[in-house]
Amino acid sequence: MKNQLLLLEDVDGVGRKGDIVSVKPGFARNFLFPKKKAIIAEKHLVRLQERLKEERAQQAITDKKEAEELAKMLKGKMLKTQVKVDAEGHMYGSVSSQDIVGFFDEQLHILIHKRNIVLPKPIKSLGQYEIDLRLQEGVPAMVILEIVAEEKAEQ
């Protein structure tokens, strides 16, 4: 039997702050309750729900503004990485979303989460790629990732 819960925080894949949701008992007992992300929805919590929704609306406005500023800052930015290749020029391994998160931190000193990167599958060949980003509140952004072959050390 599923529980009716009032979310106290945004929970990915479940709902947003102030929403009343149904989840499986184990998820509520093992994750939501210990982390104080939800409480059992009772009739006398209607005022709390309204206040939480207002707070979430205010937070959405500030999140969107920050995301739009970040999108402007990222416009035209380029990330570059060197990868090992074999004799025919094929990459060893691939470049994944997690790797791109590291490039943002190393090269641009910007913290981006893996879930913000829209990459259908890992990149497995050299070249330039447009990497789409989905920032907070659905704000789109784009950066260019250039993947080049690592220079071989002369012997």
Task: Write down the pLDDT at residue 153.
Answer: 47
Q: What is the pTM of this model?
A: 0.70
Q: What is the mean pLDDT of the chain?
A: 88
Which run of H or of E encompasses 132?
A: strand 127-134
Tell me what the mean pLDDT of segment 22-38 comes to.
Answer: 93
Query: What pLDDT, on a 0 to 100 scale, did the predictor assign at position 155?
Result: 40
CA–CA–CA angle 34, 35, 38 (5° rounding)? 90
pLDDT in tens, 75-96: 889 999 999 988 887 888 899 9
Output the pLDDT for position 101.
Answer: 93
pLDDT at residue number 76:
87
Q: Is 24 helix (H, G, I), strand (E, B) or coil?
A: coil
Q: What angle do CA 63, 39, 3 make, to 5 degrees?
A: 110
Question: How far apart (Å, rounded) are the C-alpha atoms in residues 90 and 95?
Answer: 13
For the cut 90, the answer to whether the pLDDT of residue 32 exceeds it is yes
pLDDT for res 1:
55
Q: What is the pLDDT of residues 57-74, one digit of tens each?
A: 899 999 999 999 999 998
> Per-residue pLDDT for 40 more than 50?
yes
The DSSP output letter for 108 is: I
> Domains, the chain, ranges and CATH?
3-64 (3.40.5.10), 75-149 (3.10.430.100)
